[in-house]
Amino acid sequence: MSLAAAGFAAPVWANPPAKSLRPVLRPKGLGKVSAPGIDTLVRNAKVSGKLSVAVARVGSGEVLESFGAQSAQPPASVAKALTALYALHYLGGGHRFQTKVVATGPIKNGVVQGDLVLRGGGDPTLDTDGLADLARTLKATGVRGVSGRFLVWGGAMAQVARIDRKQPDHAGYNPAVSGLSLNYNRVHFEWKRSASGYVTTMDARTNKYRPAVSVAKMKVSNRDLPVYTYKAVGKEDHWTVARSALANGGARWLPVRQPELYAGDVFRTMARSHGIQLKAPKITQSAPRGTVMATHQSPDLRTILKGMLKYSTNITAEMVGMAASHARGAQVGSLKASANAMNAWAAETLGMRHAALVDHSGLGEASRMRADELASVLARAGQHEVLKPILKDIALRDGNGRVNKAHPLKVKAKTGTLYFVSALAGYISGPNNTELAFAIFGADVDARARLIGPDRERPKGSRTFNSRSKKLQQKLIERWAAVYRA
């Protein structure tokens, strides 16, 4: 199959090596190793769509080799690497987000003479354990009740119903976003078969607690498809699930669309366990003022970003990205507006003139990025020192597809995967002590455009695309290590 038929552009050599592209891999004793050209690797991989790849020398940022560099492609979750740099630039690695409990009036005989407010501070890692700590601290102040309302506030950042509107309603990786977010804005749905049908629970579980929630409800329906349906009913998330899909039992995380009320519901339960009676939570649009009764701090931003890059948590990327945009002074009314602020920063500060992201997580398929620009940024000393330590180790495999722990190359990178999109960017190091930075973006945009409704889940051909893409990525890494003496 020709390159034109495969949909790939001709290679562009930024700085071709002076010697043959089939060098002798060093140190001595490893023998001669063939290093086929990128065009050969691409042709043999038989991956549909288009490819944009580049490799650069760490330190100088010099792009050594690129292929299809003029063709910007969807970066998928590799976008989170840029978001991490953005957040560190404006917030700093030691930044901690704070969630507070605020009393709007004085305390008399253990009762707040006014409202009690759960005030979100944009913490993407807040969980049920954190709310339990807040309730415990509140009890220690002597508070036993509230004469007024129990309010929840998530206005520290723009509220978004879902990260990407094209994703299925039940995708746990596509929740609502708010300045008050709990358990990555996911609720735990569990079902068990009983003599009379199924017993279902919806809770906000952690390893310590499993409080039931009232803002998310589930009903089992007698049907085959769709597996899930969702509808907002007032201030509640109403779900149905197909009985035929449940088998004997199981569990999964579902997205939350009422994040402030979800957090308030759980905090009310935690407070009740300490003898503090609160009314049902209500959303307030005004930032609360009063006496801070309890504060919960997040881990430092560097730790948060390391977890984000390891587990690819979309909501974390969106929340730290919006927090960075606020710190930049941008008007942030939506994810796209915040992403535009990050694009402007990337162009001004990093020289990434073609970065065009629509969010901070890479979930939106309309995002585009060029491999040569990202590889050059990653290779510069400043970004390398900041980003490499928080990227995850990527395992290389042997010819049988098994993890090869003895492989001489070490790769620390960020992966990115959507249906018919596969990306990888990071660092290569090996026995010759030359470190390289690289970016690989591959996408079959036409195949993604054909995904409609149920076809967006496990579409035909997507597994083959992903498997071939992963193999090509390793071939490229091994080629660059051979040619440029990693």
More confident residue, 174 or 33: 174
**pLDDT per residue over 3-34, tens digit each?**
333 333 333 333 333 333 333 344 433 334 45
Name the band, by pLDDT with cuts 50, 70 and 90, for residue 456. low
* Per-residue model confidence (pLDDT) at position 69: 83
User: What average pLDDT score do residues 370-377 get?
Assistant: 97
* Per-residue model confidence (pLDDT) at position 19: 35
CA trace torsion 255, 258, 261, 265 (10° rounding): -30
| CB 451, CB 459: distance < 8 Å | yes
- φ, ψ of residue 480 to 5 degrees: the values are -65, -40
- Report which of 281, 179, 287 is spatially closest to residue 236, judged by C-alpha positions: 281
More confident residue, 12 or 152: 152
User: What average pLDDT score do residues 72-93 get?
Assistant: 98
- φ, ψ of residue 113 to 5 degrees: the values are -90, 75
3-class SS shares of the chain: helix, strand, coil, % to 5:
30, 25, 40
In the chain, where the domains are located: 3-92+301-483, 115-297
Res. 100: pLDDT tops 70: yes
* Per-residue model confidence (pLDDT) at position 424: 98
C-alpha R_g of the chain: 25
Res. 75: pLDDT tops 80: yes
* Per-residue model confidence (pLDDT) at position 34: 58
Rounded Cα–Cα distance for residues 418 and 475 (Å): 21
- Report which of 83, 21, 34, 75 is spatially closest to residue 51, judged by C-alpha positions: 75
Name the band, by pLDDT with cuts 50, 70 and 90, for residue 459. confident
**pLDDT per residue over 393-419, tens digit each?**
999 999 888 999 999 999 999 999 999
* Per-residue model confidence (pLDDT) at position 13: 32
Rounded Cα–Cα distance for residues 463 and 481 (Å): 27
More confident residue, 243 or 18: 243
Amino acid making up residue 481: A
- φ, ψ of residue 296 to 5 degrees: the values are -120, 125
Give the full edge-to-edge strand order of the sheet including 436-443. 11-12, 63-67, 50-57, 436-443, 421-429, 410-418, 392-394
Tokens 């990337």: give the residue.
346
Res. 291: pLDDT tops 60: yes
- Report which of 162, 94, 185, 158 is spatially closest to residue 326, judged by C-alpha positions: 158
User: What average pLDDT score do residues 111-125 get?
Assistant: 98
The reported pTM is: 0.91
Name the band, by pLDDT with cuts 50, 70 and 90, for residue 347. very high
Residue 133 is encoded by which pair of tokens? 């700590």
Rounded Cα–Cα distance for residues 313 and 455 (Å): 24
* Per-residue model confidence (pLDDT) at position 26: 40
**pLDDT per residue over 431-449, tens digit each?**
988 899 999 999 999 999 8
Cα dist. 29→20, 25, 32, 434, 479 in Å? 20, 9, 9, 19, 18
Tokens 């976003």: give the residue.
177
Res. 175: pLDDT tops 80: yes
Res. 226: pLDDT tops 70: yes
* Per-residue model confidence (pLDDT) at position 454: 52
* Per-residue model confidence (pLDDT) at position 453: 57
On average, the pLDDT of the chain sits at 92
* Per-residue model confidence (pLDDT) at position 399: 86
Amino acid making up residue 215: V
Res. 471: pLDDT tops 50: yes
Q: Which CATH architecture has domain 3-92+301-483?
A: 3-Layer(aba) Sandwich (3.40)
Res. 195: pLDDT tops 60: yes
Rounded Cα–Cα distance for residues 138 and 118 (Å): 11
User: What average pLDDT score do residues 379-390 get?
Assistant: 95
